[in-house]
């Protein structure tokens, strides 16, 4: 028999092992979604994702338009989900540093000379603006969002107190006014950070918790640029928007500004704003197409069932010889011939049944894995990659 001392030592050993395991579990992060701590003036990389439109349903990569390019263009290695979403994540020449303000800075290499767009590039820009394309950027894996403020009341005093704030994904490439195309060539970035609590002897670290942009269209003549790459933003009434004439060459000056604000939102809750964001770009074509297909299939299936049923009933009523037989058969006897009768199209039935179970198991496992927190929205394309893998595996 074991002594009380040996039993106590074993229990203490197992307790220490369990505590170490629990400690390791609490400090576990899903690969690719761990927080990044920035120090003062650390470089925060701004990447471009794609261009999207609710009218054409066709995504394009960022550099398909004549935007400013860095010295070396590097594309991020993408997973299956990102490829199916149309993402083409690439670096940009934006120079953003943690908690460092920038009032106005030229984006391209030539600080005091605007970019000259050719006739083909001008036509392409005008076409993308007409098709209502949005530009999508990310900073620390957070997508950029445009703040929209709505005032339900017209009274000026109530306007200051009551306002409805909404967000939309990305920012508009430009706008159309009086049959003229205008480009958003100035971007005002507003980044929110959360200051982490550290010991007094250590330096404070920051985490990015929100990424907003306010696009503006400013004519390059109104942007006063110097040789050092800095510029001066004019006041709203004193400048004209940057027009893109599709019939001739144009000159454009791309600029940006950076503003940082401290936020009480913690890193774990930084996706709450994006998850509750309503999609402004409603895909009407996809919705109408799905509704029409559902109604057509439902109507055709119901009509086939009704026609087959009525045809049998009418044929039975027209046969006077079998009236007595039909009267004798009642209850379960009416279906005794259909119980062991094979279906008319057994392969189609088995295919639909197998695909249904395949889809059901795929959706069930994806929901279970998402409930465990393994499919975080910060892990781009993970949901679609997991769904495709499970669909193939469940086959």
pLDDT at position 4 over 50: no
pLDDT in tens, 25-77: 444 444 446 788 888 889 999 999 999 988 887 889 999 999 988 888 888 88
- pLDDT given at position 302: 82
Statement: the pTM of the whole predicted model exceeds 0.85: no
Q: What is the 3-state secondary structure (H, E, C) of 339-370?
A: CCCCCCCHHHHHHHHHHHHHHHHHHHHHHHHH
Calpha distance 222→234 (Å, rounded): 7
Question: What's the Cα-to-Cα distance from 3 to each of 6, 10, 12, 14, 256, rounded to whole Å?
Answer: 5, 11, 15, 17, 75
Q: Are 234 and 99 in contact (CB under 8 A)?
A: no
Domain coordinates of the chain in residue numbers? 42-152+161-275, 346-394
- pLDDT given at position 336: 59
* Between 18 and 295, the higher pLDDT residue: 295
Neighbours of 262 (CB within 10 A): 11
If 0-12 CB within 10 Å is exposed, 13-18 middle and 19+ buried, where does residue 104 land? buried
* Between 5 and 46, the higher pLDDT residue: 46
Helix (H) or strand (E) holding 274: helix 272-275
DSSP letter (8 states) at residue 38: B
CA 176 from centre of chain: 25
pLDDT at position 389 over 50: yes
Calpha distance 216→303 (Å, rounded): 56
- 164: confidence class by pLDDT, cuts 50, 70, 90: confident
Q: 186-195 and 206-216 as β-strands: parallel, antiparallel, unpaired?
A: antiparallel
pLDDT in tens, 79-104: 777 787 888 889 999 999 998 998 88
pLDDT in tens, 329-374: 555 556 656 666 777 888 888 887 888 888 888 899 988 888 887 7
């Amino acid at each position: 028999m074991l002594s009380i001392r040996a039993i106590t030592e074993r229990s203490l050993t197992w307790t220490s092992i369990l505590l170490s395991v629990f400690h390791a579990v609490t400090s576990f992060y899903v690969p690719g979604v761990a927080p990044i701590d920035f120090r003062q003036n650390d470089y925060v990389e701004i990447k471009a994702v794609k261009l999207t439109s609710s009218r054409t349903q066709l995504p394009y990569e960022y550099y398909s338009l004549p935007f400013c390019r860095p010295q070396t263009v590097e594309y991020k290695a993408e997973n299956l989900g990102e490829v199916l979403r149309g993402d083409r994540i690439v670096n940009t020449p934006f120079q953003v540093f943690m908690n460092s303000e920038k009032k106005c800075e030229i984006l391209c290499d030539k600080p005091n000379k605007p970019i000259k767009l050719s006739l083909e590039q001008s036509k392409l820009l005008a076409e993308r603006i007409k098709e209502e394309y949005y530009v999508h950027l990310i900073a620390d894996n957070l997508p950029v969002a445009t703040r929209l403020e709505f005032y339900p009341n017209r009274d000026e005093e109530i306007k200051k107190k009551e306002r409805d704030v909404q967000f939309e994904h990305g920012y508009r490439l430009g706008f159309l006014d009086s049959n003229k195309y205008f480009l958003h060539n100035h971007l005002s970035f507003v980044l929110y950070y959360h200051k982490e609590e550290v010991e007094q002897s250590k330096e404070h670290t920051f985490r990015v918790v929100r990424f907003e942009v306010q696009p503006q269209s400013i004519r390059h003549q109104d942007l006063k640029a110097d040789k050092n790459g800095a510029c001066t933003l004019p006041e709203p009434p004193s400048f004209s928007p940057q027009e893109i004439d599709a019939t001739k060459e144009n000159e454009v000056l791309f600029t940006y500004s950076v503003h940082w604000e401290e936020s009480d939102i913690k890193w774990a809750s930084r996706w709450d704003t994006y998850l509750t964001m309503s999609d402004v770009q409603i895909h009407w074509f996809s919705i109408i197409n799905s509704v029409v297909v559902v109604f057509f299939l439902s109507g055709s299936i119901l009509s086939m069932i009704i026609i087959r049923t009525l045809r049998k009933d009418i044929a039975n009523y027209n046969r006077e010889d079998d009236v007595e037989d039909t009267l004798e058969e009642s209850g379960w006897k009416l279906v005794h011939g259909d119980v062991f009768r094979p279906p008319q199209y057994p392969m189609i039935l088995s295919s639909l049944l197998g695909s249904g179970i395949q889809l059901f198991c795929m959706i069930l496992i994806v929901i279970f894995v998402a409930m465990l927190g393994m499919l975080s929205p910060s892990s781009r394309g993970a949901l679609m990659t997991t769904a495709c893998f499970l669909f193939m595996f469940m086959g």
